[in-house]
Amino acid sequence: MRKTKNEELERLSIGEYKKASKLPVVVVLDNIRSTHNVGSVFRTADAFRIEKIILCGITAVPPHRDIYKTALGATESVEWSYAESTVETVRELKKAGYQVYAVEQADENIFLEDFTPDPAARLALIFGHEVSGVQEAVLPLVDGCIEIPQSGTKHSLNISVSAGIVLWDIYRKLAKN
């Protein structure tokens, strides 16, 4: 056995990526304070050909050295925009026909393994601040909350880890259709 060389992976060029079909998923980052987490989400979004990332509130935006450090060029391939208000962003996404879900622990949630995305729908997923999560003001606007089951002592996962788990799961479920 040997490791596969990068040139053997046959990845798309940035130009090919921009023209390729995307998973109909928008990622909303709600006040993410760590630039490394932002860069990591860009890289994960590139891996699963996510439609777009919307950076909200205090979330850092490219160009930023620390975002580049973890994104490894994904800020060039993944479409992104900035919006000051996550609440307004959610309202706009809903008007545009997106089903909007917060990735959050809530009293009425859907565990990730039980969540079945509608393959005919456009989906937006909100990931919240590293300590306080998705803003409370956003929750009444969403179609539901998706929770990643956990059984250890900690109350949450790092946002970049959460994004990786949820986006992989959505990619896996939608790629079947």
Q: How far is CA 31 from CA 5, 86, 110, 132, 135, in A?
A: 37, 8, 23, 10, 9
Neighbours of 70 (CB within 10 A): 18
CB 94, CB 141: distance < 8 Å: yes
CB hemisphere CA count around 163 (13 angstroms): 32
19-175 has which fold?
Alpha/beta knot (3.40.1280)
CB hemisphere CA count around 27 (13 angstroms): 37
Q: List the pLDDT tens digit at each of the 177 positions of the chain.
A: 999 998 899 899 999 999 999 999 999 999 999 999 999 999 999 999 999 999 999 999 999 999 999 999 999 999 999 999 999 999 999 999 999 999 999 999 999 999 999 999 999 999 999 999 999 999 999 999 999 999 999 999 999 999 999 999 999 999 865
pTM for the full predicted model: 0.96
What is the per-residue DSSP string for 37-70?
Answer: HHHHHHHHHHHTTEEEEEEETT---SS-HHHHHH
Q: Where are the domains of the chain?
A: 19-175
Q: Which residues contact 77 (CB under 8 A, 6 or more apart)?
A: 14, 17, 18, 46
